[in-house]
Amino acid sequence: MKCLSTEKIDMDRLDFLFSCEVGALAACRGFPSIVQLLDYSRDEAFIVMELVSPSLTGVMKDENGVTRCHPENEVRHLVRQLLAGAAGMHRVGLMHRDIKPDNVLVDAHGNLKLCDLGISRAFSDVPPYTNPVVARKYRAPELLLGSVDYDSRIDAWAIGCIMAELLAGGMPFRGSSVKEQLGEVLSVLGTDDIREWSGCPDRLPGGCGPTSFLRDMFPSPEMHSTLIAGRPTLSEAGFEVLSGFLRCNPEKRMSPARALKHRWFQPPEA
């Protein structure tokens, strides 16, 4: 049960947030990878949803509270469900705008469900959109650069960050400010890709090279080198998905619907 507090929000804002969340949950009714709406009370500002249990944030940690590395097969299973939830929202014309481990619930059978749809936005709404949205460490480069005419591909970036976090046992980009976060992204992924984006500004953070080092962070299992010892390995197919999500140029970023058709998610041939 979720109660929207009336202490810090005026009534008009509260009514807007309540309507947004209830409307988004209702639009996603029946989607297995999105938490389901059971009931609500506008007068009391209560929303009743199915009981799912802990967030992905807790599941990602070991018994000592340390975020652990997950094997590729497990990551594939989890990411597939995240993509199903995001693709479902996109199919009904909504972008989530705040995908992060805290907003992903895990049931007793290991099934994932997106929750907290309160700041979702319809594609049919005309930009400018609100910015900032999405927790900073899962925020796409176009958002970090101040874009207000972004689209659902910001959800794909966030899922890519979660995928990398599951594999590596830690967040791939950990800036303590918007400027630092953008610098961390570009120091790993390079500036070549974002410079091809039609909305790229003339000036980008200094000290970042042109090319991506993402593959060095997630080498293929076939690569044997002391330089990559201890780093999480990722198959070629898996890396195609990860690098497809973590495209700085949103115009070339892989969408959840497209990713679900990728060979990484297809069952092996008999």
CA–centroid distance for 171 within its chain? 12
Could you tell me if residue 65 is left (phi over 0), alpha (psi between -120 and 50 degrees) or otherwise beta?
left
Whether the bond between 250 and the residue before it is cis, its omega within 30 degrees of 0, is: no
User: Do 208 and 191 meet the contact criterion of CB atoms below 8 Å apart?
Assistant: yes
Catalytic annotation, pick one of 98, 151, 155, 193 = 98
Gap between the Cα atoms of 8 and 2, Å rounded: 16
Is 98 annotated as catalytic? yes
The string over 187-215, giving b where at least 16 C-beta atoms fall within 10 Å of a residue's C-beta and e elsewhere, is: ebbbbebbeebeebeeebeeebeeebebe
Separation between Cα atoms, residue 244 and residue 238, nearest integer Å? 10
| 270, two tokens | 């008999």
CA torsion 160→161→167→170, rounded to 10°?
Answer: 180
Question: Catalytic amino acids?
Answer: 98
